[in-house]
Amino acid sequence: MNNNPNQAQVPSADEHQKAKGRFPLVIALTFTLLGALGSLAIFSPLVFEGREVQTAKIGDRSIVDLTHTMHDDMPFWPGGVPFTKTKLVDYDQGYLLHKFEMGENTGTHIDAPAHFIKGNRSIDRIPISELIVPAVTIDIQDKVVNNPDYQLSAADVTRWEAKHGQILAGSLVILNTGWHKRFGNPQAYINMDSNKVMHFPGFGADSAKLLVERDVVGIGIDTLSLDYGGSSDFATHGIMLKENKYQIENMANLDALPPTGATAIIGVLPVKDGSQAQARIFAILP
């Protein structure tokens, strides 16, 4: 059993070897733990895409993790700085210590308005009142299946609103494109063609303008960028960040989210004057 819900990634041969050795111990410990906690019903596994997503509970509400695990083999923006973890101290010296390095935009992370617009808010200046917010989820997986370059349109948003009600001011709008399922396969996730153009879905500029009108706090997606892979002008980035909205990229487990009623908790690193930063993101389900 893997305690890590997002680890569909391929481990290195070395990690794999170590994992094999640990396996019986992990199983034994897990069952002991589950046995001890079973009566308290702290864990209630949800199954998405045939794989268990670990949850926790507050009262009768489930909490899910929308964060990808950070490791050396995860996909990152071409030309960017990958995640690397280096061991500094090992147990034979008394304890374990690593250092890690990555670009601000590697892994599950937030773009601050300062990312594109000088003078707009840096990552440390986004207040917690904008980081614990109602989350609405628009699912376009059926459109993406036949068109990886699909861009959410304003008409898609109004169609969604006709069914679920108008998006309220102060909401975070999350786009579930299904792309999060590819995160364990960097080549499929980046999806670059022979002309070095990437192919993955995004928010179209007209939908971004409508969401600014709705006065959302921000938008989020399960791909490398809010703009679709083929974008060269990053129009959606420009529209949202100019209006001081934030953006979340590389979100995980979005199939766990209902269209409305969830609350997102975005634990972004408060890096002083940062343009972007990694975040651990949870959703409390209705």
Q: Which residues bind Zn ion (CB under 5 A)?
A: 111
**Rounded distance, CA 113 to CA 240, Å?**
8
Tell me how far, at minimum, the Cβ of 226 lies from Zn ion, in Å: 6
Cβ nearer to Zn ion, comparing 111 with 255: 111
Tell me how far, at minimum, the Cβ of 107 lies from Zn ion, in Å: 12
Tell me how far, at minimum, the Cβ of 28 lies from Zn ion, in Å: 43
Largest CA distance in the chain: 62
Q: Check: CB of residue 262 under 8 Å from CB of residue 135.
A: yes
Joined together, the tokens standing for residue 249 give 């990229």
Tell me how far, at minimum, the Cβ of 220 lies from Zn ion, in Å: 11
Cβ nearer to Zn ion, comparing 111 with 139: 111
Cβ nearer to Zn ion, comparing 5 with 204: 204
Give the CA-trace dihedral at 38, 41, 43, 48, to 10 degrees: 110
Cβ nearer to Zn ion, comparing 5 with 220: 220
Cβ nearer to Zn ion, comparing 112 with 157: 112
Helix (H) or strand (E) holding 264: strand 262-268
Residue at shortest CB range from Zn ion = 111
Tell me how far, at minimum, the Cβ of 163 lies from Zn ion, in Å: 29
Q: Check: CB of residue 9 under 8 Å from CB of residue 184.
A: yes
Cβ nearer to Zn ion, comparing 36 with 197: 197
Q: 43: buried, middle or exposed (CB in 10 Å: 19+, 13-18, 0-12)?
A: middle
**Rounded distance, CA 255 to CA 266, Å?**
18
CA 123 to chain CA mean position, Å: 17
